[in-house]
Amino acid sequence: MGKIRFLMPVLILVFSLSGPSVLCEDGQVRTAADVIDVRTFGAKGDGVSDDTGALQKAIEEALKTVGGLKPDVKYEWKGDSYPGYPPVTVYLPRGTYLVKKTIRVGVGSYSWNKAIRIIGEFSRIRAGGKMDVVIHVDTVAHITLQGFSIDGARLAGHGLTAFKISGRDALVERINVAGALSHGIVLEKCQGSVFRNCSADGNGGDGWHIIDCNAALFDGVRAMGNQGNGYTITSKDFSAGCILSNLWSEGNKGHGVEITETVSSQVVIRDGWLEGNGKDGVRVGSAGAYLTGLNIVGGYRDDSREGMPRQRQEYAPIRLTKTAAGCYVVGNQIRGGGLRGGRIYVEGNPEQHYFTGNFRLFRARTVVPAEIDTGETESVKN
């Protein structure tokens, strides 16, 4: 304990006097040559000046610098020794950075010697003109995006797009996307990567559009007030199985979560809150989906409640479509769906799936086992 008391003031002094410095995910304070402050290249962060060039130059300089630093570790492989270089951090101090063209993080390599961090201090990057996407990341395994928001400002098609952010060394954390004309976050072939405590709110399409992201982990993520689905999980070329945990999906005009029929490996959706979405709470068209620990509240009233207006009821808290097979639906609490309120709706044969421990909650703490409903959904007109 005596040593700890002695060292702490020294660490604080180094942090405060060494210029730009960032406390990174690995617990290391990055300083001097391995931190690039975007203000060095003229970024203002005042929400008025065009910071496009400054941000792009800072990222390009970081990618050039990686590999030019002194190696800090060596890797051994089949008798050969390879140098390992520390990652370079692009640092965005607090502010609003206006960009008029897409910011591109074009790493193009899975090498640990192309490691880059882009870290903000609760910063914002805002579209200042029409563009396809505000930030695009391409092909990287060792990257951290952390601590900033992306505002499409109803000018950009998407907030964040990424192609092949891959591996457990890739981390996207505390990134918030809003105001895109279409999907807020679009991820393709981001296999095994981690997205944590991120959100996509108020976008013109889906909050999250996830394509071919095998083994990716989405934890503590949120989708609210989007014009499409909260989350869409789909496939083009890969099996596309992934994990959504501790999720929140509320007030989206489409489904809370949709897993399309093209997905061919298990998607796990666990421990989440889904409320007030315009269509199904969770809609599954794939095989082997695992749904557990979900609290699903419909965005409509049950017709069985006295004195409440009758509304058109087309959707269900949980729906397994005709293409779904071998799904596990375990330990969920559900409510909503009108005449089929609180029921799990199965368009195909329910014997192809496994159900247990699902309950319907209604009125004052009344809990009953959830029923499995089949057949065509009835509609109730106003």
**Residue numbers in the chain where pLDDT is lower than 50:** 1-26, 28-32, 68-72, 300-312, 337-340, 376-382
pLDDT at 34: 81
Tell me what pLDDT residue 134 has: 98
pLDDT value at position 84? 56
Q: What is the pLDDT of residue 371?
A: 83
The 3-class SS string of the chain reads CHHHHHHHHHHHHHHHHCCCEEECCCCCEEEHHHEEEHHHHCCCCEEEEECHHHHHHHHHHHHHHCCCCCCCEEEEECCEEEEECCCEEEEECCCEEEECCCEEEEEEECCHHHCEEEEEEEEEEEECCCEEEEEEEEEECCEEEEEEEEECCCCEEEEEEEEEECCCCCEEEEEEEECCCCCCEEEECCCCCEEECCEEECCCCCCEEEECCCCCEEECCEEECCCCCCEEEECCCCCCCCEEEEEEEECCCCCCEEECCCCCCCCEEEEEEEECCCCCCEEECCECCEEEEEEEECCCCCCCCCCCCCCCCCCCCEEECCCCECCEEECCEEECCHHHCCCEEECCCHHHCEEECCEEEECCCEEEECCEEECCCCCCCC
Q: Give pLDDT, residue 125.
A: 98
Architecture per CATH, domain 29-181, reads as: 3 Solenoid (2.160)
Express each pLDDT in 41-50 by its tens digit.
Answer: 999 999 999 9
Predicted pLDDT of residue 31: 46
pTM of structure: 0.84
Give residue limits of the domains in the chain. Answer: 29-181
